[in-house]
Amino acid sequence: MSRVRLFPALCLSLVALLHWLPAQAAATATATATATATARPTDWAQPVGVQYNLFQMSPTLYRSALPDGGAVPLLKNLKVATVINFLPEADSNWLSEPDINQVQLPYRTNHVDDADVLKTLRAIQSAEAKGPVLMHCKHGSDRTGLMAAMYRVVVQGWSKEDALSEMTQGGFGESGHFRDSVRYVMQADVDKLRTALANGDCSTSAFATCSMKSWFQSVNLK
């Protein structure tokens, strides 16, 4: 083949290749996303709404990032009856629906203790009796992730390893955010937490601030 004919043929091949590459990349990305979705364990929290990092953990428990007023119709559609907020700012800034109860339990993952976890687990269980519950922090990853993991372990009986896998690999946020949460879950005494939760104790330690306060109150009443 002459050079005159060869050059146009090469150009056509190059154009075809340039058209093929993006299509192939898109097909690969779609296949990867499909495989990832298929590979997600069925007992992990399942995605509901990308905008709010909203996932369903159970028929009566959801987790998310900080919602806004636009999320209210969605929450009503999900029949959410209680919103538990782990932030210092109240949800009344965006939530004024009288049929949705607001519970505020602010804490920080680098200062969390058993009393924080027991207070949250008790609040979730109490609220679940009235309907589905949504718990959230700002991004829906670290604070919400820690309480989600402790709910899995203490209430649902998951192993720490399974709960931590969901926390760090479930697509809730960057894994670097979970360092303090992972540390707490790993050192938590699950048996003590279950006993305290069943007995209505505010902490696993008799020397915790809330325990001492209760003791002093009981002494004064006597």
> Side-chain half-sphere of 140: how many Cα atoms within 13 Å?
23
pLDDT score recorded for residue 21: 41
Going residue by residue through the chain, which has 222 residues, state the pLDDT in tens, using 9 for 90 and above. Answer: 554 454 445 444 544 444 544 454 444 444 434 444 458 999 999 999 899 999 999 999 999 999 999 999 999 999 999 999 999 999 999 999 999 999 999 999 999 999 999 999 999 999 999 999 999 999 999 999 999 999 999 999 999 999 999 999 999 998 677 999 999 999 999 999 999 999 999 999 888 778 666 555 555 555
36: Cα separation from own chain's centroid? 19
DSSP bridge pairs for 56: 46, 62
Give 175's DSSP letter: G
pLDDT score recorded for residue 177: 77
Q: Give domain limits for the chain.
A: 13-42, 44-205
Q: Which helix (H) or strand (E) holds 56?
A: strand 54-58
Residue in 42, 66, 201 with CA at minimum distance from that of residue 143: 66
Assign a CATH topology to domain 44-205.
Protein-Tyrosine Phosphatase; Chain A (3.90.190)
pLDDT score recorded for residue 217: 56
pLDDT score recorded for residue 28: 42
pLDDT score recorded for residue 103: 98
pLDDT score recorded for residue 17: 40
Phi, psi of 108 (to 5 degrees): -125, 140
pLDDT score recorded for residue 14: 42
| Per-residue b or e along 93-118, where b marks 16 or more CB atoms closer than 10 Å to that residue's CB | ebbeeeebbebebebebeebbbbbbb
pLDDT score recorded for residue 10: 44
Structure tokens that stand for 139 in this block = 């991004």
